[in-house]
Amino acid sequence: MVAELWPGVPAAWSRRVRVPSTAAVDPAGTVHAWHLLDNGAELAERGITPEGTLLCVHGNPTWSYLWRSVLAAAGKLDKPWRVIAVDQLDMGFSRRTGRFRRLADRITDLGDLTAELGLEGPVVTVGHDWGGLISLGWALRHRDQLAAVVLTNTAVHPGGFEVPAALQLALHPAVHQWGTTTSAAFLRVTHALAQPALEKGVRRAFMAPYLNAARRQGVGNFVADIPGDPSAPSWPALAEVSEGIRGLDVPALILWGPKDPVFSDRYLRDLLQRMPHAAVHRFEGAGHLLPEDRDIAAPVFDWLEGTVGPARSRSAAKAGSRADGSTGAGLPTPAAEAGPEEPYRPMLAELDERSADGSPAVVDMAPLHAPDAGPRTLSWSELAGQVDLLAGGLRAHGVRPGDRISLLVPPGIELTSLIYACLRVGAVVVVADAGLGTAGLSRAIKGAGPAFLVGIERALAGARLLNWPGRRISVAELSPAKRRLYKVGATLSELLAAGASDGGPAAAVTPAPDDDAAILFTSGSTGPAKGVAYTHRRLAAMRDTLKDTYKLEAGTALVAGFAPFALLGPALGATSVTPAMDVTAPKTLTAAALADAAAAVQATAVFASPAALANVLATADGLRPEHRAALEKVELLLSAGAPIPEPLLSRVQHLVPAASLHTPYGMTEALPVTDISLPGIRAAGAGNGVCVGTPVVGARVAIARLDALGVPGDEPTTEPGTTGEILVSAPHVKDRYDRLWITQAHSASVPGWHRTGDVGHLDGDGRLWVEGRLAHVITASGGVITPVAAEQAAETNDGVRLAAVVGVGPAGAQVPAAVLETVPRTRRPGPAPQELTRQVRAAVARATGVELAAVLMLPELPTDIRHNSKIDRAKLAAWASRTLAGGRISAP
């Protein structure tokens, strides 16, 4: 058994080094004893020459113990790295020098240590908290040795903000000495920031070097040296590092815990402004002590494997860089980049070509400023003029190419105009709708880090309450008091007025095809919503795919009852109408509202989600003859967002008898992927899952086979009947996940393909069948079970409205259980009645061979907010497990 000094730290890693000091604070000839955690001797014992060295620098009030997971992982790699985790002087188990060491001294100290160690390149600096700033200072002084930098929750400058409140308190004269030195309060508060809480042994280890006031003097001095303004002694050193890193041309990785009360996302945004080429991953739910909250070792070494090595040069960092800091060198080839690019036609091309056209372009059935005033219409020429004026106003207000603009505006004329104005000036549109809920929307906006935020008053109130980033622009006019309250710098009407005096087309900047155009957020139905980055080229490819697949040409008139399509009308050259509904809550669309919208433009096409169509059918009895006449002219109806059953589509067909009904399969990352019509659904018949048809124009689909534990492989196959993760390749697949390097690396780990996270198979006719989500696969002792076919079988029973089949028990030995929503709804959650249980079990076994271990009921199955139709199986699995284990029976 390996002897441990502290939990997770073998005694062999601990060493002491005597280092001559050249720091200005020390008298000549001073020698200090440093304590390190170093796996170098361990590697040498095994006869291993490391790939390079990770120089890990802790902050305050931690010590080298923070990096134990990185040390542990480094020695297990095929190509190990040496890891040197230092205890800074006056910290950890290094010498207490008795001198007040400032930032410049600490940078010099680190250089003294590496000189004494004879450290050569390649060196990767790794820093946390104030150790990030110190490690970057070392990096700037040792460029010849430097290979890359890694940062976790740190700051290199106040970034135009005040020192964080927690540190202001620690700096206050009435608190400072007692809080940081006399007592252990500062340490305990810092340790309490861990998400989840630290284990007792780990807390003791973090406290071990700081058991009395004398041992904590360095903790207090570290806080006292924080350079909060230009008068601080360490301000010049801070400025030297913070400005110097703008010239660092080595690869950089930033790992971030957003729930950090000290170094919030504003410091991440400041870092990205200085190091725009950095790869970034934000760990939702993690906080200040990120190396404790999450496994950072695996992503660090994965990133290094693709970034630092003899076959890769420093220029690789530049080659993969983006101005938003979302991606960096070392990513696998993003999906659909392997082949030649398709011809590129800008998103604004159609609008520019029709700028003199007086026919209708966009129609609002319930205009934002006067919902009861009746429809509002803009012609193509009016829309083009408004877009140009808004673009000029945005430029006048300080918007520059590459700036992110969060648009918190309901679909309609204002949102459409703003989106195309942003594209005109080269700004990056951030779209995260209210359907994410307050917490989800807040996470999305803070994660995207927009420079500007345009919103209705409710959004501006949320921005103030939740401290969302971005200079505020109000869609509506506000009183002076409200402008001050919401910190509004301009209104939409003021932008239009400012645009009239702008340089117009002469001042326009044409974005490059591969510049970012938009960050679109996923629904959040399978975890925290993810930002999906689209370039102008890929956004245009989405438009072209829809156009070519469904023959959506100039002259088409479409009703956009599904938010993504509400924004594409002008790019397609189609007249588009937004019905009177809350587009973020699809089930608010009524049959009358749909028909009124169709009549307003003589609609030939309708886009609506399954939840919207379900409510349309539920309210169809109120349709008047003129309503039905308008719907009879519809030629195409698309329903996307979630699977839709054939019986519901058949009922929709009666409402739009002349329409061809299609249900494209896709996702925020790639829409659409496949397509199937109502006759196609009928021809496919019953099967294992939902048949979603064949790939759309330009798309390819393959399968990555699942193993016995439900883990997909890396080899794409089109062999019929093979169940596995669905892979997609197409010109309109997203460019990347925004500031989610780990997620992106995984999604693109099969070169040329995007991993969808969905599970399914191809049949002999090349049709794709979706069997569920990868996260919802049940790993039984006899093999994997996918849920969709079993759910469909359960729903064939009278009285069952919805069914979810989930796994209960440990991976590899799970048993399937069904959770039902019945008609009429049950009042009490718990086991289903005996007869219904028998019927459901029999139906599922007959159709799929799956033997259900239990059948449970709930008044209502939890679904996502955006689509009102995607069942939250993860929540149901946890509830079913608790219920079957004898826990208190209550709603999940």
**More confident: 503 or 27:** 27
Q: 778-884 maps to which CATH number? A: 3.30.300.30
Please write the tens of the pLDDT for every residue from 672-688.
Answer: 999 999 999 999 998 99
Cβ-proximal residues to 625 (8 Å cutoff; 6+ apart), any chain: none
Strand order in the sheet with 800-808: 800-808, 815-822, 854-858, 830-831
- Residue of 507, 467, 475, 503 whose CA lies nearest to 491: 475
Residue 403 CB neighbour total at 10 angstroms = 20
* One-letter amino acid for residue 53 of the chain: T
Per-residue three-class SS string for 834-885: HHHHHHHHHHHHHHHCCCCCEEEEECCCCECCCCCCCECHHHHHHHHHHHHC
The mean pLDDT value for 718-735 works out to: 97
Residue 285: the pLDDT is 93
What is the DSSP code (8-state) at residue 179?
A: I
Residue 365 CB neighbour total at 10 angstroms = 22
Q: How far apart are CA 601 and CA 604, in angstroms?
A: 9
Residue 668: the pLDDT is 92
The mean pLDDT value for 560-565 works out to: 72
CB 462 within 8 Å of CB 273: no
Residue 504: the pLDDT is 58
CA–CA distance from 365 to each of 372, 829, 866 (Å)? 9, 41, 21
Q: Is the pLDDT of residue 730 over 90?
A: yes
Residues in the chain: 892
Q: How far apart are CA 709 and CA 724, in angstroms?
A: 12
Please write the tens of the pLDDT for every residue from 567-621.
Answer: 788 999 999 998 988 766 778 899 999 999 999 999 999 998 888 899 999 999 9
Same fold, 4-319 and 778-884: no
Q: How confident is the model at residue 1 (pLDDT cuts 50, 70, 90)?
A: low
Residue 524 CB neighbour total at 10 angstroms = 22
Q: 347-359+376-509 maps to which CATH number? A: 3.40.50.980
Cβ-proximal residues to 276 (8 Å cutoff; 6+ apart), any chain: 321, 322, 323, 324, 325
Q: How confident is the model at residue 561 (pLDDT cuts 50, 70, 90)?
A: confident
What is the DSSP code (8-state) at residue 212?
A: S
Residue 169 CB neighbour total at 10 angstroms = 15
Q: How far apart are CA 762 and CA 80, in angstroms?
A: 41
Least confident piece of the model among 10-19, 172-181, 668-677 = 172-181
Q: Compute the C-alpha angle 810/815/821, nearest 5°.
A: 115
Q: Is the pLDDT of residue 330 over 50?
A: no
Q: How far apart are CA 632 and CA 623, in angstroms?
A: 12
Least confident piece of the model among 136-140, 288-292, 561-565, 728-732 = 561-565
Percent of the chain with pLDDT over 70: 91
Pairing of strands 360-364, 279-282: unpaired
Please write the tens of the pLDDT for every residue from 54-68.
Answer: 999 999 999 999 999
Least confident piece of the model among 192-196, 296-300, 332-336, 416-420 = 332-336
Cβ-proximal residues to 574 (8 Å cutoff; 6+ apart), any chain: 552, 553, 554, 555, 556, 557, 558, 605
b/e 262-282 (16+ beta carbons within 10 angstroms → b): bbbbbbbbbbbbbbbbbbbbb
- Residue of 75, 55, 59 whose CA lies nearest to 126: 55
Q: How far apart are CA 393 and CA 409, in angstroms?
A: 18
Q: How far apart are CA 871 and CA 867, in angstroms?
A: 10
Cα 247 to chain center, whole Å?
A: 28
- DSSP assignment of 765-821 equals TS-EEEEEEGGG-EEETTEEE-SHHHHHHHTTSTTEEEEEEEEESSTTS-EEEEEEE
The mean pLDDT value for 852-880 works out to: 80
* Mean pLDDT for the chain overall: 90
* One-letter amino acid for residue 585 of the chain: A
Residue 643: the pLDDT is 75
Cβ-proximal residues to 192 (8 Å cutoff; 6+ apart), any chain: none
Q: How far apart are CA 134 and CA 87, in angstroms?
A: 13
Q: How far apart are CA 505 and CA 483, in angstroms?
A: 31
Cα 297 to chain center, whole Å?
A: 21
Q: Which two tokens stand for residue 262?
A: 């000290």
Q: Is the pLDDT of residue 315 over 80?
A: no
Q: How far apart are CA 770 and CA 767, in angstroms?
A: 10
Pairing of strands 712-717, 700-706: antiparallel
**Whether residue 196 has a cis bond before it, omega within 30° of 0:** yes
In a 10 Å sphere around its CB, with 0-12 CB exposed, 13-18 middle and 19+ buried, how is residue 501 labelled? exposed
Q: Where are the domains of the chain?
A: 4-319, 347-359+376-509, 537-776, 778-884
**More confident: 824 or 168:** 824
Place of tokens 């604004």: 348
The mean pLDDT value for 188-214 works out to: 96
In a 10 Å sphere around its CB, with 0-12 CB exposed, 13-18 middle and 19+ buried, how is residue 127 labelled? buried
Q: How far apart are CA 385 and CA 382, in angstroms?
A: 5
Residue 318: the pLDDT is 35
3-state secondary structure of 414: helix
Residue 313: the pLDDT is 39
Q: Topology of 537-776 in CATH? A: Rossmann fold (3.40.50)
Least confident piece of the model among 379-393, 574-588, 858-872 = 858-872
CATH class, 4-319 region: alpha beta
Please write the tens of the pLDDT for every residue from 753-783.
Answer: 999 999 999 999 999 999 999 999 999 998 9
- DSSP assignment of 61-86 equals S--GGGGHHHHHHHTTSSS--EEEEE
Q: Angle between the 380-396 and 492-500 helix axes, to the nearest 10 degrees? A: 90
Residue 169: the pLDDT is 61
Please write the tens of the pLDDT for every residue from 149-170.
Answer: 999 999 998 755 565 666 666 5
Least confident piece of the model among 440-454, 527-541, 577-591, 634-648 = 577-591
The mean pLDDT value for 460-480 works out to: 96
- Residue 675, CA atoms < 13 Å, CB-side half-sphere: 18
Q: Which two tokens stand for residue 748?
A: 């693109």
Q: How far apart are CA 411 and CA 578, in angstroms?
A: 7
Torsion region of 849: left, alpha or beta (phi above 0 gives left; psi -120 to 50 gives alpha): left
Please write the tens of the pLDDT for every residue from 520-543.
Answer: 999 876 778 899 999 999 999 999
Q: Is the pLDDT of residue 310 over 50?
A: no
